[in-house]
Amino acid sequence: MSEQVDLTTIPISPEGGNQPDAAEDNDQTITVFHDKDNFNVKHPLSNKWTLWFTKPASGKGDNWNELLKEVITFESVEEFWGIYNNIAPVSELALKSDYHLFKEGVRPEWEDPQNKHGGKWSYQFKDKRAINIDELWMHTMLAAIGETLEEEEDGEVMGVVVNVRKAFYRIGVWTRTTGRHIPGRGDGDVAGGKGRSPEKGKEVLLGIGKKFKATLKLGQNEQVEFSGHTESAHSGSTRAKAKFVA
């Protein structure tokens, strides 16, 4: 696999920006920046990612598993933009809809084995008209697939989520742990808390929170909050008491 592409060099859309000069073209290599339709080279991502969608419930009897739909899995920058440019933007989704972008093989559910010991950083935008939710969600996805929310050895970020609700938009980053190692998990993972002290676990999670906050372009006085999935499940709400803030 070729070297991981630096996503900061990727324009908002392959259709504009960062286009190489014609003199740099050659007969063998045609990237999406040379020709957005006839490229023959892809920029692979470090992980495969799957996009999921939760459609609004039609009644109280709807089952969560029936509302959650797997959309598509991709593994390159080009595939990401092809998907992104052909799905409805967040600003046009119906109320109670969600997008979930998770590493392949991880379902966007608390009960998934790779999520059940984890938690999430989140922030609610209560003044929906004052923000560009499409841009914020796009940059959050790019930060996830570009592996810029954490250090390479952390292995914490499982996925990112955006929720569309009547009173707010909410964006979240799901992590594998809550900052402490779970002994005897036996899942074979070498990342996500194995061998970490509680202090190091907290440091790793706070680092992710700070990067997430920067991605959302929040002010100094605005805070993102971290809560564990277990606490959220017990409280019956996605808004459990914050464990950390950043």
pLDDT of 241 above 80:
no
Which domains are delineated in the chain? 7-245 (3.30.760.10)
The alpha carbon dihedral of 226, 232, 238, 242 has a sign of negative
Q: Nearest 5°: CA angle at 83, between 209 and 98?
A: 50
List pLDDT tens digits, range 31-66: 666 666 676 667 889 999 999 999 988 877 677 778
Q: How far apart are CA 108 and CA 100, in angstroms?
A: 7
Residue 10: exposure state from Cβ atoms within 10 A (0-12, 13-18, ≥19): buried
Per-residue confidence (pLDDT) for residue 10, from 0 to 100: 38
Note whether 121 and 209 are within 8 A (CB): yes
- CA 49 from chain centre, in angstroms, equals 9
List pLDDT tens digits, range 96-118: 999 999 999 999 999 999 999 99
CB atoms within 10 A of CB 72: 13
